Structure 1
């Protein structure tokens, strides 16, 4: 006997069918070619399935013709005179016949939420299509990088230019490379063989611990147009910032900003005790130190000659302010260049601050002076005045006071903070849940960082910190000598 289907169930089944087709999920949707039924449908191939093959149900949902090679429930649907047969099958097999859970919380969810999650993963995989090789990726972070760059097939890690280009040619694809660790001669070798190379960098919500301490990243960016650190060339991020955003995305960006502020999250840390304003009757201005040989400084430094030059310029711009200098944590840890002794810094600033969470400071200061630091972007989110002495990705959009030369004509129009955040934190990066090691949304990562603000220690991170302390001690000793 045929089961009745209510108008409400029929409508829900039809909406689910539409969403499945739109998202192209089900079956081996992550695979490319013959294993992916959605690719077969898109190519107009003749489909042949056994009557109990679930791919046959997907084909029916997509409205494709199927040659049934044997009996089964899905072949019965195709041969049924009942106009509601497919909606009944969707209700029976997909709505009532399965339980769905959120992969990050483990809580039960409706099929619609499960479809949305699978659609997100499908989009993540599609963004990575064509990548077959990763180069310049340190071993201690390969697991995380591979999860965020997974193209639906294996990703080869190459240690030199010849191996990288050879693997790309064999796989018929492209290379992702960490620019500062790129194998010698990679650009030339790839160009000679017509292989595209795309830069990969840390994302803007990276981790609870420092990358220089070998804490693996929870987010990365890959740019197919250029590099967001390079103001002389267009980039995917620049195009995303300039593009019109739909209202739903902007509302999501507003919520994300509030979550970041409420949780006290910045690129490397979250939480921490509030930082107290040192004086009450003066404008408090934070100057953030940077790694002096960082790629963003090399490309976008606009002639500023290191951290000492930056604080001198900040003092000249803010002669009456209470200037606070915060050295970069990688420099303080002894891993990177850019150290200034406190005695030298205090000739130009009123205070040097360490071991205070950046988010806590940004909640208390009136303004921030930066070269190209991400701190300027984080300060914008928190409503601070931001003065840029270099040319970071967030300069030139009408949100900052820019002292460096203007960035050509590509950034000639103003955008809102929500537009900037939507592009920078939602559309551009790839995120990884540190708990499940699954690709996730920025909202999930914010939840994780807020729940566990202190980084997990490993033998590698402890050894790396010891190495940094030794370098710092030797540097100080060498300076005294």
Structure 2
């Protein structure tokens, strides 16, 4: 059996994700296994995010870690909405700042040619013009305060998420909770209008609130619930994050971004970094970051054909998908209730 004919092994994937694993690994046979020990020596093992990171991987087993891409869907992954992009990483994973990932190596080493940069410019402009973000949820509006104060957006995160555990290492990042971040922003910017937006998974009841998150108004001027992130980012002046992807989305829109953790887009000269990453020494132009993060790193699958596709096609399909509008169908509302119950 040639290397191309050997199956990949996928560790402990739920039934709803299995068809997507096959789509994103198009052309490879995939066998789903329950434990690491079900993987033979010399095989390739597919693992979701940092799950099972503490387990001993058998000698000779190659690990591919996968995660949602940065332009994902119209709806939440925690709602089991299908993705249009995943990332596949053979070195680490993009949110793990404790070691290099494939994305970090792309950003540190790639000489982006004119064609890649032109594609990046067009993608960025289309994302901004259409208001696309990772999940594309939120239907309510928002208005800036009528005075001329600076407006700072603080996006909440799921505090138990691996993006904080690994993207804001405790030994170098003292701020790792939403309310600690909000308080730090308030104290450093007493004259600004500070807006806090809870994470959409938390608002949907699919993930747990952060510690003392109900006290957010003690440290901010306003809490925004239903406004879309795309609309919000267009109207604020600055975004302060731990590791939230909203910081990357803000950079696409030319906003000032301050990072208290070490997300993938920090350390390249585009952000103010409260916890600098010493090994990231290259200074990137914005569209070099875009080319690496949206073109070179992720894989995209068409909603129409189920086949691998380009970021440009995926973007067009997302815009069309979002344009269909409408609330969650009845069966998804029931599914959300089931998912909320299991999170308790």
The aligned residue for residue 255 of structure 1 is 122
Q: 2:174 and 2:237 mapped to 1: Cα distance?
A: 26
1:196 aligns with 2:196: no
The aligned residue for residue 248 of structure 2 is 377
Contact 2:10 2:30 in 1 (8 A): yes
Structure 2 unmatched runs, 5+: none
Q: 2:313 and 2:74 mapped to 1: Cα distance?
A: 14
Equivalent position to 1:147, from 11, 15, 23: 23
1:144-175 per-position Cα deviation (integer Å, ceiling 9, x unaligned): 2211123x231111122222x14xx4xx5311
Structure 1 unmatched runs, 5+: 1-31, 35-125, 475-481
Contact 1:263 1:271 in 2 (8 A): no
Alignment root-mean-square deviation, CA: 2.5
Q: How does 1:460-475 map to 2 (within 5 A)?
A: 461-467=332-338
TM-score by length of 1: 0.65
The aligned residue for residue 12 of structure 1 is none
Q: How does 1:51-70 map to 2 (within 5 A)?
A: none
Q: CA 1:397–1:241 in structure 2 vs 1: closer, same or farther (change >3 Å)?
A: same
Contact 2:43 2:60 in 1 (8 A): no
Q: 1:221 and 1:130 mapped to 2: Cα distance?
A: 21
Q: CA 1:443–1:452 in structure 2 vs 1: closer, same or farther (change >3 Å)?
A: same
Contact 2:144 2:236 in 1 (8 A): yes
1:29-66 per-position Cα deviation (integer Å, ceiling 9, x unaligned): xxx959xxxxxxxxxxxxxxxxxxxxxxxxxxxxxxxx
Q: Give 1:321 deviation, angstroms.
A: 0.6
Q: Give 1:468 deviation, angstroms.
A: 5.5
The aligned residue for residue 33 of structure 2 is 158
Contact 2:140 2:226 in 1 (8 A): no
Q: 1:281 and 1:202 mapped to 2: Cα distance?
A: 38
1:327 aligns with 2:198: yes
Contact 1:263 1:450 in 2 (8 A): yes
The aligned residue for residue 13 of structure 2 is 137
Q: CA 1:359–1:345 in structure 2 vs 1: closer, same or farther (change >3 Å)?
A: same
Q: CA 1:228–1:455 in structure 2 vs 1: closer, same or farther (change >3 Å)?
A: farther
1:236-285 per-position Cα deviation (integer Å, ceiling 9, x unaligned): 10111122100110011000001101111000017956532133321111
Q: Give 1:139 deviation, angstroms.
A: 1.3
Q: CA 1:181–1:374 in structure 2 vs 1: closer, same or farther (change >3 Å)?
A: same
Contact 2:153 2:236 in 1 (8 A): yes
Aligned to 2:16, what secondary structure does the other structure show? Answer: helix
The aligned residue for residue 167 of structure 2 is 300
Aligned to 1:304, what secondary structure does the other structure show? Answer: coil
Q: 1:455 and 1:253 mapped to 2: Cα distance?
A: 31
TM-score by length of 2: 0.90
1:336 aligns with 2:211: no
Contact 2:144 2:235 in 1 (8 A): yes
Aligned to 2:46, what secondary structure does the other structure show? Answer: strand
How many residues in Structure 1 have an aligned counterpart in Structure 2?
A: 337
Contact 1:144 1:218 in 2 (8 A): no
Equivalent position to 1:316, from 187, 195, 199: 187
Contact 1:221 1:429 in 2 (8 A): yes
Q: CA 1:138–1:469 in structure 2 vs 1: closer, same or farther (change >3 Å)?
A: closer
1:407 aligns with 2:277: yes
Q: 1:442 and 1:278 mapped to 2: Cα distance?
A: 36
Q: CA 1:343–1:197 in structure 2 vs 1: closer, same or farther (change >3 Å)?
A: closer
Aligned to 1:425, what secondary structure does the other structure show? Answer: helix
Q: CA 1:251–1:274 in structure 2 vs 1: closer, same or farther (change >3 Å)?
A: farther
Contact 2:97 2:262 in 1 (8 A): yes
Equivalent position to 1:426, from 295, 298, 304: 295
Q: 1:371 and 1:289 mapped to 2: Cα distance?
A: 9
Q: 2:292 and 2:326 mapped to 1: Cα distance?
A: 27
Q: CA 1:319–1:467 in structure 2 vs 1: closer, same or farther (change >3 Å)?
A: farther
Q: CA 1:428–1:249 in structure 2 vs 1: closer, same or farther (change >3 Å)?
A: same
Contact 1:131 1:176 in 2 (8 A): no
Q: Give 1:421 deviation, angstroms.
A: 0.3
Equivalent position to 2:316, from 447, 453, 457: 447
